[in-house]
Amino acid sequence: MTADQLILKRARDGDEEALRSLWSQHSPHIDAVVRRLCGDAELAADIAQEVWIQIFRALPGYRGEAQFGTWAHRIAVNRTLNALRKVRRIEKWEVDIDDDSAATEMDSDRGFLAESIDEAMRQLSPGARTVFVLHDVEGYTHEEIAERLGITSGGSKSQLFKARAKLRRLLAHVIDDTWPARNGSHAASAC
Amino acid sequence: MLHLPADRLIELGESEPTNTELAHLGACAECERERRAYRALRELASAEGASVGAPLTSWDSLSAALRDEGLMTRKSAQILTLTPPGTPAVARPRRWHTGAWALRAAAALLLVAGGVVIGKSAASVEMSQPQTTAAADPTLGTVANFAGSYTSNAEALAALYRAQREYERAATFLMTNNPVADETEPDVYRARLAALDNVMQASMTALEDAPADPVINRYYIAAAGARESTLRQLQTSLPPGSRIDSY
Mutate to test the interface with A, among B71, B79, B238 (most CBs of A within 10 A): B71
| Whether residue B119 is found in the same domain as residue B187 | no
| Whether residue B171 is found in the same domain as residue B189 | no
| Whether residue B120 is found in the same domain as residue B189 | no
Whether residue B20 lies inside any domain: the answer is yes
Q: Establish if A161 touches chain B: CB-CB under 8 angstroms.
A: yes
Q: Where in the sequence is the domain holding B111, given as residue range(s)?
A: 96-124+153-177
**B49: pLDDT confidence band, cut at 50, 70 and 90?**
confident
**B153: pLDDT confidence band, cut at 50, 70 and 90?**
low
Task: For residue A108, give the nearest of A183, A173, A40 by alpha carbon.
Answer: A183
Domain count, chain B: 3
A120-129, B47-56, B195-204, B232-241, range with the lowest pLDDT: B232-241
C-alpha Rg value of chain B to the nearest Å: 28
What pLDDT score does B154 carry? 66
Contact B62 A23 (CB under 8 A): yes
What pLDDT score does A81 carry? 93
| Whether residue B184 is found in the same domain as residue B224 | yes
Residue B138 has pLDDT above 70, yes or no: no
Domains belonging to chain A, first-starting first, are: 3-86 (1.10.1740.10), 98-175 (1.10.10.10)
Whether residue B186 lies inside any domain: the answer is yes
Contact A176 B28 (CB under 8 A): no
Out of A17, A49, A164, the one facing B62 most closely (by C-beta) is: A49
Closest chain A C-alpha to B51 CA, distance in angstroms: 7
| Whether residue B160 is found in the same domain as residue B225 | no
What pLDDT score does B144 carry? 43
Mutate to test the interface with B, among A9, A23, A42, A97 (most CBs of B within 10 A): A23
| Whether residue B235 is found in the same domain as residue B186 | yes
Whether residue B244 lies inside any domain: the answer is yes
> Region A80-104: what's the mean pLDDT?
61
Taking CA–CA distances from B44, the nearest residue in chain A reads: A117
Whether residue B16 lies inside any domain: the answer is yes
Residue A131 has pLDDT above 90, yes or no: yes
Out of A21, A161, A176, the one facing B224 most closely (by C-beta) is: A21
> Region B206-210: what's the mean pLDDT?
74
> Region B33-42: what's the mean pLDDT?
90
What pLDDT score does B116 carry? 45
B144-to-B113, B116, B120, B136 alpha-carbon distances in Å: 19, 20, 21, 11
Helices (H) then strands (E): counts for chain A: 11, 0
What pLDDT score does A11 carry? 92
Whether residue B24 lies inside any domain: the answer is yes
Helices (H) then strands (E): counts for chain B: 9, 0
Q: Which of the given ranges, A122-136, B9-23, B99-113, has the highest pLDDT on average? A: A122-136
Contact A188 B52 (CB under 8 A): no
What pLDDT score does A57 carry? 95
Residue A18 has pLDDT above 70, yes or no: yes
pLDDT-above-70 percentage for chain B: 48
Out of A10, A56, A182, the one facing B66 most closely (by C-beta) is: A56
Q: Establish if A40 touches chain B: CB-CB under 8 angstroms.
A: no
| Whether residue B36 is found in the same domain as residue B103 | no
Whether residue B55 lies inside any domain: the answer is no
| Whether residue B193 is found in the same domain as residue B228 | yes
Q: Which residues of chain A have a CB within 8 Å of the CB of B59?
A: 20, 23-24
| Whether residue B100 is found in the same domain as residue B173 | yes
Q: Environment class of residue B209 by beta-carbon count within 10 Å: exposed (0-12), middle (13-18) or buried (19+)?
A: exposed
In order, the DSSP letters of A25-84 are HHHHHHHHHHHHHH--HHHHHHHHHHHHHHHHHHGGG--SSS-HHHHHHHHHHHHHHHHH
Whether residue B138 lies inside any domain: the answer is no
| Whether residue B173 is found in the same domain as residue B193 | no
Whether residue B81 lies inside any domain: the answer is no
> Over the stretch B158-173, which tens digit does the pLDDT of each residue have?
666 666 666 666 666 6
**B55: pLDDT confidence band, cut at 50, 70 and 90?**
confident
| Whether residue B163 is found in the same domain as residue B218 | no
Residue B100 has pLDDT above 50, yes or no: no
Contact A84, A78 (CB under 8 A): no
Residue B183 has pLDDT above 50, yes or no: no
Sign of CA dihedral A124, A92, A30, A148: negative
Contact A14, B71 (CB under 8 A): yes
Number of neighbouring beta carbons within 10 Å of residue A82: 14
